[in-house]
Amino acid sequence: MRRIRGFIDLVFDVVDETNNLVELTHDEVVARSVRRFAPVEPLQSVAKVVTGIQGVIATTVFKSIRGINGATRRSVNALTEVVEGGLGQPLASDKYELATPMQSSAAGSLNWCVDYLQASLNGFWGDYLNQRNNALADGMTLRSNGRELSISRATLATAFPNATNKVCVLVHGLASTEWLWTFSSAAYYDGDTTTSFGSRLHDDLGFTPVYIRYNTGLHISDNGQQLAELINKLPDCYPVPIEEIALVGHSMGGLVARSAASYASANNLSWVNYLRHVACVGAPNLGAPLEKAVHLLTGVLRRVDAAGAQVPARILNSRSAGVKDLRYGYTLDEEWLGKDPDAVFANARLDIPLIDGVGYYFFAATISKDIRHPVGRLLGDLLVRLPSAAGKTKNKARRIPFSSGRVFPGMSHIHIVNHPD
């Protein structure tokens, strides 16, 4: 019912935003038409009278649409409350038997599809959903076997019956969920859909995998701070004493992991004393070329003096703060606070020192089997280029001094998430 409420609110929000966009476009078209006759009398006076009458009619129409949409929203919400009341109390979230096993065979199931639809909405408009208090906006939550975990001794003891004293926190990327860590398990592990990167870390290295789900549309720094605070609650409730923590993030998740480590260190959070490893898997540490291209296209369209160009510009510019942070790999508030997010070629990324005594690693991929091939050098893993993933740039002050790293040829951005290599 929470998701249904969220989808209902989103539909009505889309109607309102579309109405606003049409009205704004209409007003711009009318204004441009009037300017053509501005220097000429008596055409100027006639044009003002005609557009004045037309403006009154148009305003009435747009206000009527808003009114009807608002009234319909209230009626549907009232009906939803009646239905929800008839269903009785929701089942307790701590019922562990309600969990959906996190395995690649679940891909395509109803739960998987709904999760990914919600994750996609969060990825591209998550900040908007959050501002509107929409029920579809994901919060930062701990997950196990497809289920949200409250951070309490009883819940974690049930979720991790074989807990080890080494914890690995896995952070997914943009518009995704923790399901991504099981990508292609059946193909990689001879039909075994339960084996994944997380389970291999447990079996081979003794790490207990802990999964995070979050709203990827929020600023990366916001998610980094939330993750730092969430992990800080773990040691007191975890079944066994924690001796070692590792952070592994894929794509945007790598930036969130680095951000969380930075904030934990800056705020003297206790868990940073257990932090030993931060691994960035296919992370756009120096920025994502696709976001840069969309940003440039949006800037060009905004400068075209035509209503037809302004509409796609506004739609493209509605992408989330999290997506825009990927442009240059922002991980701290200081990199975006008080700055114009739409300024072209304005790279405000800071040189952030890494934590002493912690190993920072990058893992990158190229779609070409030869990493020196022009295609591989140009496209990287299709979404992140090799220099960005490795934190290497000609400007030494902007480089990220990773402890070590490795490049995997012949893989894409998604394949590297769970590939056995």
287, two tokens: 């920025």
**3-class DSSP assignment, residue 375:** helix
Assess whether pLDDT exceeds 60 at residue 372: yes
Q: Is a pLDDT exceeding 80 seen at residue 111?
A: no
d(CA 16, CA 48): 28
d(CA 97, CA 106): 16
**Cα 15 from Cα 76, distance rounded (Å):** 14
The dihedral region occupied by 380, where left means phi > 0, alpha psi between -120 and 50, and beta the remainder, is left
Q: Give the span between the Cα atoms of 213 and 126, in whole angstroms.
A: 13
Stretch (H or E) spanning 53? helix 43-87
Query: 97 pLDDT band (50/70/90 cuts)?
Result: very low
**10 Å Cβ neighbour count for 345?**
8
Phi-psi region of 141 (alpha: psi -120 to 50; beta: other; left: phi over 0): beta
- Res 100 pLDDT > 70: no
| Bigger pLDDT: 287 vs 395 | 287
Q: The pTM is what?
A: 0.91
Query: What per-residue confidence (pLDDT) applies to 101?
Result: 61
pLDDT at 106: 67
